[in-house]
Amino acid sequence: MIARINITGKPATPRHRENPDNPKPAMPTYLLGPSTRHTIQTTSKVIHTSYPRIIYVVELDSDAADDPVFAKDNPHWVKGMICLYVGSSSLTAEERFRQHRMGVNAAAVVLGFGKKLRRDLMPDQKPVPRKLALTLERRLARNLRREGFAVSQH
């Protein structure tokens, strides 16, 4: 979705024509398909907002409870509770889990203790804006704790 906005309120000149009011050509706008990136183009610059995100859940080994950060997030952890990590990403859940396992932008607890994706605990994989995804991520982590899981979420 591209919105071209001109400071004067007039529609922006198409990129293939020279704009006499603006000697700098507009920066190129790249779209990665429908609903993957929102771009706002002004006559002076292009602003990319965040990619829509999905929420994912990873099951962790029970040894994750020994991690100090995980223990701080779950003070009421009892041996035998299933340990989980809740995150959000602009990638698919599988791609993001693969990145965690390879150490690319990985949460330390998933890198060290990640076992598998828990699709049964994931919400609908419909992408949502980043701000909403972070809210849903926190809400899912809180609800999973209420259900008796030990959850890490950052």
Cα(18)–Cα(29) distance, integer angstroms: 17
pLDDT at 115 over 90: yes
End-to-end CA distance of the chain: 30
The percentage of the chain sitting over the pLDDT mark of 70, rounded to a whole number, equals 68
Output the pLDDT for position 95: 94
Q: What pLDDT score was predicted for residue 24?
A: 47
CA dihedral over 132, 137, 140, 141, signed as positive or negative: negative
The DSSP code sequence of 50-80 is: PPPBEEEEEEE-GGGGGSHHHHHH-TT--TT
pLDDT digits (tens, 9 = 90+) for 21-50: 555 444 333 333 344 444 444 444 444 456
Is the pTM value of this prediction over 0.85?
no
What is the per-residue pLDDT for 117? 95
For residue 89, pLDDT over 90 is answered with: yes
